[in-house]
Amino acid sequence: MSHVFHPSQPTPEWVAQANPVTGLIAFWVGELNMYAALSPEHAHALAVEKFGDGEGVVTPVSASRLDRPVVDKAGEFDGTLREWLALKTEAGWLACGVWVEVDLLGDVPAAAPLRAYWVGDMDIYAAHSAEEALEVCRKHSGMPDTYGMDDVDPVGDKMLAEPMVGEGGEPEGTLADLLAEAKEPGYLAGYE
């Protein structure tokens, strides 16, 4: 599939990044999520469909970024973004760009640290990003349409350091303790 533009309009540079078979192009939507789409507007619409609202600016993924190695959820190297884009047969979410620390001795990169996010007024989730916190909440709660990105906020340092009290009144550490113990995204705590 090729992209055709009116002769009076210059062809955008990002068109050169298109998969020659599907016409899909990799776009950042916000700072973390990448989508395979036909245009910036299409990528934004996909983000709205997935997360309830389109957060952030839509920009094409650069050629140099497309050719960088990708690490899967297990921490294993799994090709490049360009290879992932070539495997996509239809538009949709492509990857989450998470900052990682790289050991210069050549070890596999470590996962980015988890952060605590409020989703709604009562539940806190551990996640790498606000978008991931919303996705984890939707899977955990079984109610995918209850919350949108406007309902997700990072938990502040003060709240993380406050002692928690269990149902019987006994101390149960802090949210920071729970977050430090978390090994993967998931539910941390709830408040009533």
Beta carbons of 91 and 46 less than 8 angstroms apart: yes
148 alpha-carbon distance from chain centroid: 14
Q: Which tens digits make up the pLDDT trace of 136-187?
A: 898 888 777 788 888 899 898 888 888 888 778 888 888 888 888 888 889 9
Check pLDDT > 70 for residue 1. Answer: no
Q: Which tens digits make up the pLDDT trace of 59-100?
A: 888 777 787 777 766 666 678 888 888 888 888 888 877 655
pLDDT class of 4 with cuts at 50, 70, 90: very low
The number of C-alpha atoms within 13 Å of 182 and in the hemisphere containing its C-beta is 23
Rounded percentage of the chain residues whose pLDDT exceeds 90: 6
The predicted structure's pLDDT at residue 96? 77
The pTM of this model reads: 0.48
Beta carbons of 111 and 14 less than 8 angstroms apart: no
Beta carbons of 163 and 175 less than 8 angstroms apart: no
The predicted structure's pLDDT at residue 15? 57
Alpha-carbon span 173 to 141, nearest angstrom: 25
Alpha-carbon span 189 to 178, nearest angstrom: 8
